[in-house]
Structure 1
Amino acid sequence: MSTDISMGNLPLTGASKPLGPVGKAGHVLDLCIRWSTELSAAALVVGEVVLLFANVFYRYALHDPLIWGDELATLLFIWLAMLGAVIALRRNEHMRLTTFIAHLPPSRRAFVDTFGSVIVIAFMLSLLSPAWEYVSEEWAITSAALEISNGFRVAALAIGLTLMLAISVARLMEQARALHFFVSAGIAAGVALALLTLKAEMVALGNWNLVIFFVAAVIFMIVIGVPIMAAFGLSTVAYLCTVTSTPMLVVMGRIDEGMSSLILLAIPLFVFLGALIEAMGMAQAMIRFLASLIGHFKGGLSYVLIGAIYLVSGISGSKAADMAAVAPALFPEMKARGEDENELVAMLSASGAMSETIPPSLVLITIGSVTGVSISALFTGGFMPAVVGAIAMIVVIWLKNRKRDLKEVERSRPREVGKAFLIALPALALPFVIRAAVVEGIATATEVASVGVAYTFVVGLTFYRSFEWRRLYPIIVSTASLSGAILIIIGCATAMAWALTQSGFSRQLTDLMSNAPGGATGFLLISAVAFVVLGSFLEGIPAIVLFGPLLFPVARTLGINEVQYAMVAIFAMGLGLFAPPFGVGFYAACAIAKVDPDGAMKRVWPYLGALAVALLVLVAVPWVSTGFLSAT
């Protein structure tokens, strides 16, 4: 997903029953954590936007850079990430797969939810002591510019884990049945005891441990709806404790390393920006212009849908934000013209896959962070792959609508088109403002979202005047929640990738993939298929954090341009993410449009087939991804 779509929001069943003393205590604890974390996280989001914009202003306008700006931004960022993760856990918004447990009978689902919560608690408990030890270790290190202890920064990890543990316990106290809890705790304790008892036998299994911990265990936890961050984290901890003598302090260091890269600060800022353009009315203005321009053609609003997703994706970087902005503005009129709602959701879902490479995609930012590929190059190379995908979808739309009669739809007069264009022009300029700020060196890829936020506020309040200030606080809290859910996955996936590297798997994978039949083309095809599968199960950001550092060196060895490889990987992951029956992006599109997935599932395949053809074009024609790099 792009790493921004929640995989489910299933609370523990039985929450509506009257609360006893234990349940009431859990409820009070939940409320205390809610208000303390949400208010703090909201302040941090605002603080980061102001700080990064101040960095740009002082450096570019006053030629007097804030030498302490990046240090303070990094310190605040890890606190924002961990508090956001706490909020996401309390709101059941962590990325998780609910495809399977959603079909369970209520009683069984209640037990599975309780068991999943126990697994999350086990993960938090395994890292709680190492997290506080990590704070103690880092306390002696002093930052260069601010001259304060690094312990203040990494304390966010310990406090965040403590609060997530408290939230999980409170949720069990409030909602779980006692029998379900004791059975779940017994199973978890039994598994832990078996691993400790059979440690010598497990070590003797060699590489089969990788299959047990990183394939079987991870898949099992994901299938039963455990948040991906806990599935990654607990499997890593269990592997290291069972098969190696690695101290858990190292795991905390790897999680910190994965979450603390300053480039990742672009994630919450672009999530915030994506929500703002919808709230300010800018997305609607762009859609109205496109509708006036091409809405009278056969299937015209379908073309508008593709164009709107392309434009909005160039601003928000978040697929959930893109779909949520476009669907409410277009679907009522499309239904009035006789479009089937299942067809609409199929197009919406496929357009999400088509637009994954459009900058400032959160996956682009993540892939640059974990592989060292230039963010500017990725931003430049991301436009054309999406154009190829859009053309492929347009062909399908044309074939479906070429014999359709739309006599009742009148063509907009040139004056109406011109008026719609002038109204939309400030919004249409935003992607170009973002792009120019990076290319001209005004702002870094991390800072540019703050420029976009400032531009959106000025333009939205001046020209569109539809913003309701009461929406601002929920938008900021949701930004923290989604960002925390993404960033803690990156941290846990970084720890897992490190464990895989230490096991020797990285070298073995490199040797295997380097000798793939067909040379570079064969490697690209195998990678495309692999990332489609990974996108279906893991979502984009976790998959790229886990496998990017392993596969990108192989691509470089084979002479594949790293930007082309990034585009193939991202496009393939997007295809898997929005492909049923496992792709969670497809279900997110259904949820946004409030449509039953069963009907839409039958309509999405022609569009996904067209995108598969587009993926083959990306593999066969490097120019699509790299043709404009020389211009940067």
Structure 2
Amino acid sequence: MSPFSVCLMAIVALAILGLPVGYAMIAGSIVYLLVAGQDLSIAAEQLLQGLRGSFVLLAIPLFIMSAELMNVGSLSNRLLHFCNAIVGRFRGGLGHVNVVQSVIFAGMSGSAIADAAGVGRLIISLMTREGRYTRSYAAAITAASAVVGPIIPPSIPMVLFALVSDASIGYLFLGGAVPGLLMAAALMALNSAMARLRGFPVEEAVPLRAVPRITFRAFPALMMPVILLGGIYGGITTPTEAAAVAAAYAFLISLVLYRDVTFAQAYEAVLTSARSSASIGILIGGALVFNYVVTIENIPADLSAFLADYELSAVSFLLMVNVILLILGCLLEGITILLVIVPIFIPMAQVLGIDMVHFGVVVVVNLMIGLITPPYGLLLFVVGSVAEAPLLAIIRDVLPFLAALLCALAIITFVPDVVLWLPRLLGYNG
């Protein structure tokens, strides 16, 4: 049995026994080094050099912290009131509010889980009040709309894709803007159809004279994505520095301007952010060590040679990648797939002339859809816990939204200009 086979068996066995995947990858890689007769200190060297040498990774805890600060204060409430004033007056209005708040919140957190667990808790409560919507439907559209969050910039998964592919983070962020809006439009169109089919209520329209006041109250929160993205594309800040500005801005407007967050709550938000960041950091560390094993085993080159024998076109390759990632998304956590599986596909994509910004957005959309794909679908469990709805009922209601997102994915995959139009408009030469 080859050392690589022993490594894979060790990782799978440890993961099945309940060890976190990041630790399992580190342990399996150490087993590989031991069996292959290599210096065991290579594992520590790869982990430390990978984490220390990537300045871009600092953006992840900063984006997470800005989302946490929003959730403990009134920022989320103010955004919900603003969204309700804009789209709440239409049939199925709170469903539309759910999607629109995810689009706006996406410009602040970069995390689907933060969206569903934070603002999602508020919108589910509003939707299920007085039995206006079923708990399962409220949970389903919350999970589906949260998928849009990491597509619209900023995006933590896109930061990680930039780490493994050397693609430009700024252009990846730009590339996700139009696809994210396309996905949101698909969800809102389906929500309108479902509202008519199921007879969901029309909310009382917010008087037009109240809209300026509601907008003014939400204005500081609405300015966060403008400041963040303006800094990046204006050449003022790097993406990591912009993440720091976003976290500082969320802290200042929550504690100083709105004064609705105590120092104790801010401290708890920092602790929660640290726990989430540490969890992602362990996965990244494990992937860095395991990717060293994959590289010295020459797996990417062997896979490229294997696929080359089939003379795949770029379209066929993208279709194959979509199928593989959607299947893996049913079973594995998205960050694990992004850090371990996706790097194997990147050399082949480059050989076929597929643009890395386009490929990155396609990959991230696949992984986000995996968050609502049964049976694993992490977002299904998150919203199920929040809504206190049966998992089977949520799955039944989420399937139409899943179909709508898959249609959007097909357009994003096979019409590259949907992704590349905005980056090219702003100077991208890919």
Q: 1:419 aligns with which of 176, 197, 213?
A: 213
Secondary structure (helix, strand or coil) at the match of 1:429 reads helix
- Aligned with 1:627: secondary structure? helix
Residue equivalent to 2:231: 437
Letter in 2 for 1:257: Q
Give the aligned partner of residue 388 of structure 2. Answer: 594
Structure 1 residue 464 and structure 2 residue 258: aligned? yes
- The residue number in structure 1 matching 2:142 is 348
With CA pairs under 8 Å and 6+ residues apart, which has the higher RCO, 1 or 2? 2
Q: Which residue of 108, 113, 116 corresponds with 1:323?
A: 116
Q: Return 5+ residue gaps in structure 2 as ranges.
A: none
Counterpart in 1 of 2:186?
A: 392
Shift of 1:325: 2.4
1:257 equivalent in alignment to 2:49: yes
Hey, what's the Cα distance between the residues in 2 that align with 1:408 and 1:444?
A: 44
- Aligned sequence identity (%): 28
Specify the code of the residue in structure 1 equivalent to 2:43: V
> 1:606 corresponds to which residue?
400
Which position in structure 2 is the counterpart of 1:371? 165
Which string of whole-angstrom CA distances, capped at 9 and with x for unpartnered residues, describes residues 115-168 of structure 1?
xxxxxxxxxxxxxxxxxxxxxxxxxxxxxxxxxxxxxxxxxxxxxxxxxxxxxx
Matched position secondary structure for 1:330: helix
Q: 1:211 to 1:307 in 2, by over 3 A?
A: farther
The alpha-carbon distance between structure 1 residues 613 and 627, as it changes in their structure 2 partners (threshold 3 A), is same
Change over 3 Å in CA distance of 1:587–1:252 after alignment to 2: same
Structure 2 counterpart of 1:580, from 355, 374, 385: 374
Q: How far 1:504 moved relative to its partner?
A: 2.4
- The letter of the residue matching 2:413 is V
Q: Distance in 2 between matches of 1:486 and 1:407?
A: 41
What residue ranges of structure 1 are gaps of 5+ in the alignment?
1-201, 204-208
Aligned to 1:226, what secondary structure does the other structure show?
A: coil
Q: What SS does the aligned partner of 1:628 have?
A: helix
Task: Give, as a single letter, the amino acid of the residue that structure 1 aligns with 2:423.
Answer: L
Please tell me the root mean square deviation across aligned C-alpha atoms, in Å. Answer: 1.9
1:443 CA displacement: 1.4
TM superposition score normalised by structure 2: 0.93
**What does 1:537-548 align with in structure 2 at a 5 Å threshold?**
537-548=331-342
> Which residue identity is paired with 1:434?
L
Contact kept in structure 2, 1:532 and 1:574, CA below 8 Å: no
Cα deviation, residue 425, structure 1: 1.4
Q: TM-score, normalised by structure 1?
A: 0.64
State how 1:328-339 maps to structure 2 within 5 Å: 328-336=121-129, 338-339=132-133
| Alpha-carbon contact 1:354-1:386 (below 8 Å) kept | yes
Q: Does 1:227 align with 2:20?
A: yes
**Structure 2 partner of 1:526:** 320
Contact 1:381-1:629 at 8 Å conserved across structures:
yes
User: Hey, what does 1:509 align to over in structure 2?
Assistant: 303
Write the letter of the residue equivalent to 2:349.
Answer: A
Asked if the contact 1:360/1:379 (under 8 Å) is kept, the reply is yes
Find the residue that maps to 2:239 and give its secondary structure: coil
Distance 1:239 1:464, change over 3 A: same
For residues 11-410 of structure 1, the aligned pairs below 5 Å read: 202-203=1-2, 210-211=4-5, 213-214=7-8, 216-242=9-35, 244-260=36-52, 261-336=54-129, 338-403=132-197, 405=199, 409-410=203-204
1:124 is matched with which residue?
none
Task: Please identify, of 500-509 and 541-550, the stretch whose mean Cα deviation from structure 2 is larger.
Answer: 541-550
Q: How many residues align?
A: 424
Is 1:289–1:420's contact at 8 Å kept on the other side of the alignment? yes
Amino acid at match of 1:225: G
* Aligned equivalents of 1:217, 1:593: Cα separation in 2: 37
**How far apart are 1:568 and its partner, in Å?**
0.8
Which residue in 2 is equivalent to 1:149? none
Equivalent in the alignment of 1:566: 360
SS of corresponding position for 2:330: helix
CA distance in 2, matches of 1:418, 1:369: 42
User: Aligned pair in 2 of structure 1 residues 514, 585: CA closer, same or farther (>3 Å)?
Assistant: farther
SS of residue paired to 1:443: coil
Aligned counterparts of 1:504 and 1:462: Cα–Cα separation in 2: 54
Stretch of structure 1 that moved more, 502-511 or 265-274: 502-511
2: CA distance, partners of 1:219 / 1:354? 31
Aligned AA (2:270): I
Paired residue type of 2:40: M
The one-letter amino acid of 1:249's match is: S
